[in-house]
Amino acid sequence: MALRWAIVGAGDIAEKCVAGAIVTAPNSTLDMAMRRDEVKLGDFAERWNVPKRATRLEEVLANPDIDAVYVATPVHLHREQTVLAAQAGKHVLVEKPMAMSSTDCEEMMRACTDSGVKLGIAFYQRFNARHQKMREWIAAGRIGQIVGARIQFGEYYPDTEGAWRQIPSLGGGGTIMDTGSHCVDTLRALLGAEVRQVTGFVDTLVFSYAVDDTASFLLRFDNGAHAIVTSFWTTPGAEQEGLNIVEVYGTEGRMVAAPINAKNSEGTLRLTRTNESIEYTGDQNTHVAMLEDFVQAVDEDRDPQVAGRDGLLNMRVLEAAVRSSGTGQAVPVDLA
């Protein structure tokens, strides 16, 4: 089957990643776009040849020719828009982080379950070809028992007037919600394990906005492995392979991949064992692969690879890191 998509929030992320992926992906068509600013909406629709336009969510949800919505709005809108879309019978693929809180995530999941629609979370790094190869090698025991991992996601995001990610009421937090959420999901996927305990430091060290620009936390997984996450918005001009990297260590070797944020899986992966070194490269477009999986999930009546529960557990880890930063104590993660 083919899914007819509407993008809700035809802004920066939609322009850079989503629209092109929908247009390219098999069995997907971009039939509608929504944005409150009518002029910017018109520009977007012209560039991507979108036949239908809307300035209100109600117009999108009332259209019987739309099967699914991609929610690409600021985080504070995710819960309400997802719930309304589900109630209108539309499948939902929502940008990360899933919502402002785990309570909001739970409400979104209930709404989609009650309406019989699919809910996916856009953690695109799951579909990086190098990360998929790492998961395959780990599951096959290529580096033995996993004991540790390190992931770092750095960007430069100085004070910017009107930037919603820098406003707590709109984004829910700073780098921990934005790039930190990617780090947590990537580790959960690679290790095939859940985070049991978090110790964190969440701070604003450089800029004047009211959200964090630096977050570091230690994770203990239910398989015993430890992981270190570092996420920051403070470093300009650095080469991506050094700034965005994931390493996994086992009893028989290690794997290193960079840069983790590549949209077309560019970069390198190296597996190193005693007397053996293997390099792997891939060229899969992460967003196209994510959309293909979502369409297949609808067609096969299964959960997408990154489902609502993944977004919920991710949010519980982030909340635990923030609580730990405030108390100085390790915080357990509710996996129920």
Residues 23-58 have pLDDT tens digits of 999 999 999 999 999 999 999 999 999 999 999 999
Q: Is the pLDDT of residue 238 over 70?
A: no
Query: Containing H/E element for 287?
Result: helix 286-300
Using CA atoms of 179, 185, 191, 196 in order, give the dihedral in degrees to the nearest 10.
Answer: 100
- Other CB atoms within a 10 A radius of the CB of residue 51 amount to 11
pLDDT at residue 82 in the model? 98
Residues 6 or more apart in contact with residue 259 via CB below 8 angstroms = 240, 241, 243, 244, 245, 266, 267
136 vs 139, 169, 191, 255, CA distance in Å? 5, 39, 10, 12
Strand locations in the chain (E): 3-8, 28-34, 52-54, 68-71, 91-94, 119-121, 146-154, 195-203, 214-221, 226-232, 244-250, 253-258, 268-273, 276-280, 331-332
Model pLDDT for residues 270-287, shown as the tens digit of each residue: 999 998 999 999 899 999
Nearest residue to 91 (alpha-carbon basis) of 105, 111, 76, 72 = 111
> Would you list the domain boundaries of the chain?
3-124, 125-286+317-332
- The mean per-residue pLDDT over the stretch 112-117 comes to 98
The residue count for the chain: 336
Report the percent of the chain where pLDDT is more than 90.
Answer: 96
**What's the pTM?**
0.96
65 vs 24, 49, 70, 114, 269, CA distance in Å? 20, 17, 15, 22, 42
127 token code pair: 């579909």
Model pLDDT for residues 300-336, shown as the tens digit of each residue: 999 999 999 999 999 999 999 999 999 999 999 999 8
- The mean per-residue pLDDT over the stretch 184-193 comes to 98
Fold of 3-124: Rossmann fold (3.40.50)
Model pLDDT for residues 131-180, shown as the tens digit of each residue: 999 999 999 999 999 999 999 999 999 999 999 999 999 999 999 999 99
- Rounded CA gap, 113 and 232, in Å? 35
Asked whether 115 and 192 are in contact (CB, 8 A), the reply is: no
* Residue with the two structure tokens 């994770």: 219
Whether domain 125-286+317-332 has CATH 3.40.50.300: the reply is no
Q: What are phi and psi of 288, to 5 degrees?
A: -65, -45
Domains 3-124 and 125-286+317-332 share a fold: no
Nearest residue to 60 (alpha-carbon basis) of 94, 93, 84, 95 = 84
Amino acid at 235: T
